[in-house]
């Protein structure tokens, strides 16, 4: 396995940026930040940059929409950016996805580089060229496929994250182990995040994702395995976006989705019961125990119908055949989804027993 050519993992972000701009010419350099990355991340790279202008947007998934795109396009226009301009996206998944989309559509496409500053963006959003924004409550509903000119990943930015944000990103690392590398799953199983070498795990995740994406860039088939946990997980995330006081982070929702879909893997694919139990045990230990209100279960199963991977109005899932191997295009019924969510709740309620 190897890294994609456009991705570099480094512990010297300033040096890498300097080197990049010494070897590439642009008519203007624009840097996209939000109020958090402006404060915590921008100071680490500012001096390494050539002359540039800042575009500041509001942080948060709720601003990943057309209005914010209009703001970004307006700023690019106001600074008279031409097609040889570059946009540097400094931030988490929202900044990378939305900044990339704006760059890929401004004057039919200018170059952009992503400097992901969250663990989630480093292990997931950095690879695969998926760009986009939310639309009318649907996640990443409008977008394009386009690779960043470069992605620079430096774990130094992880020091700016809360423990909860670290856990959120870690869900994608677990996912990559579950779908493609049972030996790595054994290595992380039972460990706390703080005990693990994050740079190695980031590289491992990016390499796995790269291998899958290279074989199937436009998600005709194999790439769908990256959606393990996401059919239910996205629906859970969408549901809690508009219900409940406490927002759920992406990885937290995906952890719930992975438990539900591990259950479906046991029911509909070949995942053994003992594997199902082990996966659940670990995920519950890391992600705690937020149960889903019974009355929310029908609404969440309805939301799975809107997943982009679906065809002809049926629900399409990627399910584990065993730990470390994933299949795709399993047809799942709404009733199955509801059953899997009830299984999740049951696990949460009996989690004391499960943990022993």
Active site residues: 108, 130, 172, 209, 219, 223, 227, 230, 234, 250
Q: Nearest approach, Cβ of 272 to a copy of itself (angstroms)?
A: 33
DSSP letter for each residue of 181-197: -HHHHHHHTT--GGGS-
Tokens 């970004």: give the residue: 72
Contact 93, 124 (CB under 8 A): yes
Residue whose CB is less far from a copy of itself, 138 or 189: 138
Residue whose CB is less far from a copy of itself, 13 or 300: 300
Residue whose CB is less far from a copy of itself, 143 or 257: 143
Tokens 């386009």: give the residue: 146
Q: Left (φ > 0), alpha (ψ -120 to 50) or beta: where does 313 sit?
A: left
129: exposed, middle or buried (C-beta count within 10 Å: 0-12, 13-18, 19+)?
A: middle
Residues interacting with a copy of itself, by CB under 8 A?
27, 66, 70, 73-74, 77, 80, 82-84, 104-109, 130-132, 135-136, 138, 140-145, 218, 305-306, 308, 310-313
Strands 29-34 and 86-91: parallel
What is the C-alpha to C-alpha distance for residues 238 and 257, in angstroms, rounded to an integer?
12
Q: Nearest approach, Cβ of 138 to a copy of itself (angstroms)?
A: 7
Contact 3, 207 (CB under 8 A): yes
Q: Nearest approach, Cβ of 337 to a copy of itself (angstroms)?
A: 17
Q: Nearest approach, Cβ of 142 to a copy of itself (angstroms)?
A: 5
Residue whose CB is less far from a copy of itself, 70 or 350: 70
């Amino acid at each position: 396995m190897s890294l994609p050519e456009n991705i570099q993992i480094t512990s010297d972000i300033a040096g890498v940026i300097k080197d990049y701009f010494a070897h590439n010419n642009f008519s203007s350099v624009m840097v996209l930040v939000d109020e958090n990355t402006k404060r915590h991340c921008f100071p680490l790279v500012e001096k390494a940059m050539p002359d540039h202008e800042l575009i500041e947007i509001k942080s948060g998934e709720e601003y990943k929409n057309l209005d914010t795109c209009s703001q970004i396009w307006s700023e690019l226009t106001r600074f008279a950016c031409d097609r040889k301009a570059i946009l540097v996206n400094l931030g988490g998944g929202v900044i990378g996805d939305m900044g990339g989309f704006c760059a890929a559509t401004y004057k039919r496409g200018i170059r952009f580089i992503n400097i992901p500053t969250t663990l989630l963006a480093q292990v997931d959003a950095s690879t695969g060229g998926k760009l986009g924004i939310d639309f009318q409550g649907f996640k990443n509903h409008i977008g394009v496929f386009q690779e960043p000119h470069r992605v620079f990943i430096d774990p130094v930015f992880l020091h700016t994250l809360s423990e909860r944000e670290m856990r959120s990103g870690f869900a994608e690392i677990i996912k990559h182990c579950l779908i493609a590398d049972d030996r790595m799953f054994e290595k992380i199983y039972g460990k706390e995040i703080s005990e693990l070498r994050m740079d190695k795990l980031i590289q491992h995740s990016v390499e796995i994702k790269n291998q899958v994406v290279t074989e199937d860039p436009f998600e005709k088939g194999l790439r769908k395995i990256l959606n393990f946990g996401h059919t239910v997980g996205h629906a859970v995330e969408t549901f809690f976006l508009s219900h409940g006081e406490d927002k759920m982070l992406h990885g937290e929702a995906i952890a719930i989705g992975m438990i539900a879909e591990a259950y479906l893997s046991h029911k509909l694919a070949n995942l053994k019961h003992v594997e199902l139990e082990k996966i659940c045990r670990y995920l519950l230990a890391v992600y705690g125990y937020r149960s889903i209100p019974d009355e929310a279960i029908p609404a969440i199963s309805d939301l799975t119908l809107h997943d982009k991977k679906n065809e002809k109005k049926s629900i399409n899932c990627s399910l584990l055949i065993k730990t470390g191997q994933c299949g795709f295009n399993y047809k799942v019924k709404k009733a199955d989804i509801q059953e899997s969510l009830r299984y999740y709740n049951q696990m949460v309620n009996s989690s004391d027993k499960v943990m022993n």
